[in-house]
Amino acid sequence: MFDNNRKTILVTGCAGFIGSNFVPYFLEKYSKYNIVNLDLLTYAGNLDNLKECENNPRYKFIKGDICNRELVEFIFNEYDIQGVIHFAAESHVDNSIKNPAVFVQTNVTGTFTLVDVAYKHWMEKPFVYKERFLVDSSHSFRMTDSGHPELSSRHPEQS
User: Nearer to ligand NAD by C-beta: 39 or 82?
Assistant: 39
Please, where are the H alpha helices in the chain? 17-29, 69-79, 93-98, 100-103, 111-123, 127-136
39 scored as a contact of ligand NAD (CB under 6 A) = yes
φ, ψ for residue 26, nearest 5 deg: -65, -45
Minimum Å distance from CB 147 to ligand NAD? 13
Minimum Å distance from CB 83 to ligand NAD? 17
91 scored as a contact of ligand NAD (CB under 6 A) = yes
45 scored as a contact of ligand NAD (CB under 6 A) = yes
13 scored as a contact of ligand NAD (CB under 6 A) = yes
**CA gyration radius for the chain?**
15
Query: What's the burial of 101, exposed, middle or buried (CB within 10 Å: 0-12/13-18/19+)?
Result: exposed
83 scored as a contact of ligand NAD (CB under 6 A) = no
Per CB under 6 A, which region of 11-19, 71-79, 126-134, 148-156 contacts ligand NAD? 11-19
Per CB under 6 A, which region of 33-41, 54-62, 119-127, 147-155 contacts ligand NAD? 33-41
Question: Considering only CA atoms, which of 34, 127, 124 is closest in space to residue 83?
Answer: 34
Which of 2, 6, 7, 18 is in the footprint of ligand NAD by CB under 6 A? 18
Half-sphere exposure for 75 (CA within 13 Å, toward CB):
31
Cα–chain-centroid distance for residue 135? 17
Task: Summarize as ranges the residues that interact with ligand NAD (CB under 6 A).
Answer: 12-13, 15-19, 38-42, 44-45, 65-67, 87-91, 106, 110
